[in-house]
Amino acid sequence: MWTKATIEDLLFGTPDELLFREADRVRQEVCGDEVHLRGILEFSNHCWKNCLYCGLRRDNRSLQRYRMLPEEIVALAAKAAGDGMRTIVLQSGEDPWYTKDRVTAIIRGIKKKAGCALTLSLGERRERELREWKEAGADRYLLKHETANPKLFGSLCPGTTLEKRLGCLRLLKSLGYQVGSGILAGLPGQKPEDFVDDLMLLAFLDVDMVGIGPFIPHPETPLGHDPVGDSRNVLRLIAVARIILREVHIPATTALGTVEREGREKGLRVGANVVMANLTPLRFRKRYAIYPSRICAQESAEWCPECLKQRITNLGRKVSRDYGHSLKGERHAA
Ligand code: 5AD
Ligand code: SF4
C-alpha cells in the first residue's frame, strides 16, 4: 500500500526520466503493448450545470446547442462497432432531455445491434436511472472527481459538492459498473499538495479507469483568462497514477494532445494505454466546445480511428482487439 509520503516522493522528488521510465515499465508489465481504442460519441452539448471551467456551462449563451436523436446515436454507435470499435463511449453535458427511458432505449438499441462494450459519461444522475441503465446493458461509467480539494471543487462546480460526486462514484461501483474517475489538472487555485490527495482518493475509490487532463481556459467562461494547465505536470500525474494504481486503464487524453504537440503519444509513453477516437458527426464536433482549439475538430469520424491506429503503430504498440474491460481481475468478466 502506498503512503502519502511515498506518493509525495514520487510526485515531487523523482526526476522526469526516472519516473517516466518506471511508469512505462509498469504499463508494459500490466497492459503489455496493447492500446485500447475507444470511440466517443458526444451526442448533446446541452448542460444544466454551470461548472466555472467548462465551455458547455449553462451560462455560455454564445454556444449553439445541439442534441442528437436516439435513432441517430444508435445508428452511429452500431456502425462504429461494426467497423471494429470494441468500446463506445456515450458522452454529453448533464442534459435532462435524455430521460431514464430515452437512455435505456439507446443502450438497448446499441446492445441489440452491436457486440461492443458501452461506457456512459452523462454526469451525476439519479440512482434509479443509473440502476436501470446498468440493467439495460451499460458496462462502464466515467465521472471525474476533477479535484479532491472540497473547497475548490465547491467553488468551481456550483450545484454539487465533492461529497455528492464521491457518493455517486461509490453508488456506480455498488451497481456493478466499471468506474472511471480522474483529475482536471492546473485549475486556478489548485495546489501541488492537492494532487497527492487526488491520487490517494483514486486509490481509495479503487477505480478501474483514470482520466487526467490539463485545464484549458475557455474564453466564454469566468476562468477564460487563467493560465493553461502544465502538460509536464499532467504527464507526471499519469506516470505516478500508473505506478501506484497499476491495474487501471489510463487514456492519453485529447486535452493533453491539444496543449502539447504529440501529447497523446507522450502520454502513451509514460503510463497511458487508451486513446479515444472521436465519432461525433463533423457538423456537431466544433460545438462540443468544452475547451477551445480542440484537436481533431476537422477530422471525419471515419478518419479519427485510422489516424490513431497509425499513431499507435508508430510507437511500436498494437491496437487491442479486446473489449478492454477492467484490469482488476474476474470481478468484471463480461
Ligand atoms: N479544460 C479541460 N478539460 C475540461 N473539462 C471541462 N472543462 C475543461 C476545460 N476547460 C473536462 C472535465 C470534465 C470533462 C467533461 O471535461 O474534466 O470531466
Ligand atoms: Fe456540464 Fe460537465 Fe461541463 Fe460541468 S463539466 S458544465 S457538468 S458538461
What's 128's domain CATH number? 3.20.20.70
CA separation for the pair 153, 176 (Å, rounded): 26
Mean pLDDT of the chain: 96
Task: Return the closest-CA partner of residue 153 out of 176, 119, 124, 120.
Answer: 124
Q: Does residue 52 carry a pLDDT above 90?
A: yes
Q: Does residue 310 carry a pLDDT above 60?
A: yes
Give a yes or no: residue 106 inside a domain.
yes
Write the pLDDT tens digit of every residue in 9-45.
999 999 999 999 999 999 999 999 999 999 999 999 9
Residue whose Cα lies nearest atom 4 of ligand 2: it is: 51
Give a yes or no: residue 109 inside a domain.
yes
CA 57 to ligand 2 centroid distance, Å: 6
Lowest model confidence (mean pLDDT) among 41-50, 212-221, 303-312, 324-333: 324-333
Residue whose Cα lies nearest atom 6 of ligand 2: it is: 57
Of all ligands present, the nearest one to the C-alpha of 184 is: 1
The arithmetic mean of pLDDT across residues 223-249, rounded, is 98
Q: What pLDDT does 330 receive?
A: 54
For residue 2, name the pLDDT band (cuts at 50, 70, 90). Answer: confident
Give a yes or no: residue 198 inside a domain.
yes
How many domains does the chain contain in total? 1
Q: Does residue 255 carry a pLDDT above 60?
A: yes
CA 214 to ligand 1 centroid distance, Å: 8
Residue whose Cα lies nearest atom 8 of ligand 1: it is: 54
Give a yes or no: residue 139 inside a domain.
yes
The CB of 93 under 6 Å from ligand 2? The reply is yes
Domain range for 147: 4-321
The arithmetic mean of pLDDT across residues 195-207, rounded, is 98
* Block residue for cell numbers 475548490: 152
For residue 207, name the pLDDT band (cuts at 50, 70, 90). Answer: very high
The arithmetic mean of pLDDT across residues 218-231, rounded, is 98
CA 147 to ligand 1 centroid distance, Å: 11
The Cβ-side half-sphere exposure at 13, using a 13 Å CA radius, reads 8
Give a yes or no: residue 244 inside a domain.
yes
pTM for this entry: 0.97
Q: What pLDDT does 184 receive?
A: 98
Phi-psi region of 146 (alpha: psi -120 to 50; beta: other; left: phi over 0): left
Helix (H) or strand (E) holding 319: strand 318-319
Write the pLDDT tens digit of every residue in 165-174.
999 999 999 9
Give a yes or no: residue 98 inside a domain.
yes
36: three-class secondary structure by DSSP:
strand
Q: Between the CA of residue 159 and those of 48, 156, 165, what are the distances in Å? A: 10, 10, 11
Give a yes or no: residue 145 inside a domain.
yes
The CB of 46 under 6 Å from ligand 2? The reply is no
Encoded amino acid at 182, one letter: G
The arithmetic mean of pLDDT across residues 86-92, rounded, is 98
Phi, psi of 63 (to 5 degrees): -90, 130
Give a yes or no: residue 327 inside a domain.
no
Q: What pLDDT does 298 receive?
A: 76
Q: What pLDDT does 334 receive?
A: 43
The CB of 57 under 6 Å from ligand 2? The reply is yes
Could you tell which of 183, 290, 293 is best to mutate to test the pocket of ligand 1, judged by most ligand atoms within 8 Å of the CB?
Answer: 290
Minimum-distance ligand 1 atom for the alpha carbon of 144? 18
CA separation for the pair 51, 72 (Å, rounded): 28
- The set of residues, in sequence order, having a beta carbon less than 8 Å from that of 60 and lying 6+ positions away, is 218, 220, 221
Write the pLDDT tens digit of every residue in 120-157.
999 999 999 999 999 999 999 999 999 999 999 999 99
